Amino acid sequence: MKLFESITIKNLKSKNRIIMSPMAMYSAKNGLPNDFHFVHYGSRAIGGAGIIILEATAVEKIGRITPNDLCLYNLRQMRALSRIAKFIKDSGALAGIQLAHAGRKAGTYVPWEGLGKIPLEKGGWIPVAPSLIPYVNDWIKPSELSENGIKNIENKFINSAILAYNAGFQIIEIHAAHGYLIHEFLSPLTNKRNDKYGGKLENRSRFLLEIIEGIREKIPNDAALFVRISGVDFADGGWGIDDTIYLAKEMKSYGVDLIDCSSGGIIPDIKLPEIEGYNVFISEAIKKNENILTSVVGYIFNDKFANKLIEENKTDMVTLGRVLLRDPYWPIRKGFYNGYKFYPVQYERAFNVPRGLYG
């Protein structure tokens, strides 16, 4: 099965076509990872996924979704994350990290502790955005970024990318999806600016492309650069598939190696399609129009379905989220049934049994 075959991205070889999706755990303290993160990511690395991408990691303190988000903007955070990167690589996977800024969606409660924005008097903060439009009407109105403020955040992304590379991460993913800051610049629903960062598509794409350009100038060429996008907003007047095709071409020219295809998140109450692989059409459209690697996320639970997507050239890889939360060893199990060995040598005796007896 092609799903379980290796793929080379730049000079990096992933042992299979499975990416662990970056999924926020909301479990950091002062932006630092702890034993939970080490075991969480280490288990999935042992579990056989070819690429492990750490959750949305804020490039500055006010860019956190919640107070419990991972951060990467100083040396202490870099050193703490380097232990996880090393273990992922020692386990035979490629180590990636997603760099993010939550924009107007920053400063919310941890999901299991409450809903919505944390009030200023309880430790919340005023978020930043391209325009003065809150995510929800009764949320704190964001501060509109000046051009100097935009450049400052671009430099924070670049600084975090340098720290990520020095921590040992081989893949850096820019989070430009799900209604967070970069997506807010891309979408006409949230970007109402009339300067060079607003208005026409080229201007709304400028913030992301300048971040990509800056990272590519500062990070050695042996690192791979991914971008996660919301390929469509699923909202009238929002970002659409033609915009994504344009952006894919631009991102490739700026040095992006893979586009991680997702969707939605720009405004509340969007109902996403409840069908298997509902984002596949985004990846397929990109691949029909541009020669660039893609991965796709969204209700992919079945190995045969995932393999079919790759075989039919609708995507090059699959990004798995919920399935790997439920079962860290899904790649080992599915690979074993299909004749592939992704388990570590320490587990050899568990698989050295007649295949028909393995349960």
Residues identified as active-site = 180
What would the two tokens of residue 16 be? Answer: 């299979």
By the 8 A CB rule, do 71 and 64 touch?
A: yes
For residue 29, count CB atoms less than 10 angstroms from its CB and return exposed for 0-12, middle for 13-18, buried for 19 or more: exposed
Amino acid present at 50? G
How far, in Å, CA of 67 to CA of 30, rounded? Answer: 8
By the 8 A CB rule, do 284 and 315 touch?
A: yes
Q: How far is CA 316 from CA 30, 107, 225, 264, 284, in A?
A: 37, 35, 15, 22, 10
How far, in Å, CA of 325 to CA of 340, rounded? Answer: 22
What would the two tokens of residue 286 be? Answer: 């990109």
What would the two tokens of residue 69 be? Answer: 């988000």
How far, in Å, CA of 262 to CA of 270, rounded? Answer: 14
Cβ-Cβ contacts under 8 Å for 148 (sequence gap 6 or more): none
How far, in Å, CA of 106 to CA of 67, rounded? Answer: 9
Cβ-Cβ contacts under 8 Å for 55 (sequence gap 6 or more): 22, 23, 24, 25, 69, 70, 98
For residue 256, count CB atoms less than 10 angstroms from its CB and return exposed for 0-12, middle for 13-18, buried for 19 or more: buried
What would the two tokens of residue 343 be? Answer: 């388990």
Buried b (16+ CB within 10 A) or exposed e, 109-126: bbeeeeeebbeeeeebee
How far, in Å, CA of 286 to CA of 290, rounded? Answer: 6
In the 8-state DSSP scheme, what is residue 338? T
